[in-house]
Structure 1
């Protein structure tokens, strides 16, 4: 056995991102079920590795630390003076981290990212997407489902990462996020989706959605 080869247990994964080495856990990399890493680790298709057995990923090695920290913490914590938001958003898109993209779009709109601390996992097992939304946005309407959820008036289960789990239509929830964060539906929506969204709004008691 090569003594230079890093130890990688079933739960510890080595990554070589643009020549920079990171060591993390399988739990961290699969925190977001539809992400690049969750698919990579669950796939039977062989992945390229370096001579030490680390997964080879041809992306920006320096910016990746912020991507990895987001997967570890569930929120964005950036150094003072950070300015590479476009690059970080590009990496979030590549790694299929929709929750990170939501945070960065808020920053692009001039909103602070420091309050992004509430995780919501939407969908069924195996198809869930996780969104990170501020308490302020979730409590946009004082008598909504989300206000009750955060105040403890509506018991909602959580996953092992502490995200609230909502077993509803994941394909529509990004419209709910748009409304909660920005006060309106900003993405294109079909008439059929609009009807379904109105049903979701009724269930969540979001009176002002279209």
Structure 2
């Protein structure tokens, strides 16, 4: 069966491969100067056999935030929280994986770290151990509240809310929910920038440029 890639898909694939190689330290800045440089870099790692240690995975983080926004728009707030919380876990686990790859830590240990450390630890002392920048406290609070709400819904562990015994002010409730998701979106933006700086050191735009 003849399978042809569209030019758009081909560019996205090449871009993702180059981003992964650069983020993991296999590619240097010399390898992303221009098109000829990354082609030479690809040839070098293939000739040296480094490619055997590279795994290409599907990144679902963007689809998670898109799905979260769809649920929010449909007023399915609990499902929106699930997708947003999963987004943050995927991203922080990716940072842990990146650190392990850059420092030659084996996959078994990498998986053990990800499974063993809770969400609070991943965003506080583990980031410090990995020498990553300190995470903003306000955005950390947003993530922890979100994780708590997600867990309550998924595990059906609802907390008693005294306000439910009284008549609900729906206008006030709408403002509270709007504010909650506005804060979540701000934290999404902050964390994307945080991750991009660590992974690409300001070179993400340059990579996109040479692929074009």
TM-score normalised to the size of structure 1?
0.30
Choose between structure 1 and 2: higher helix proportion.
Answer: 2
Q: Which has the higher contact order (CA 8 A, sep 6+)?
A: 2
TM-score normalised to the size of structure 2?
0.30
Choose between structure 1 and 2: higher strand proportion.
Answer: 1
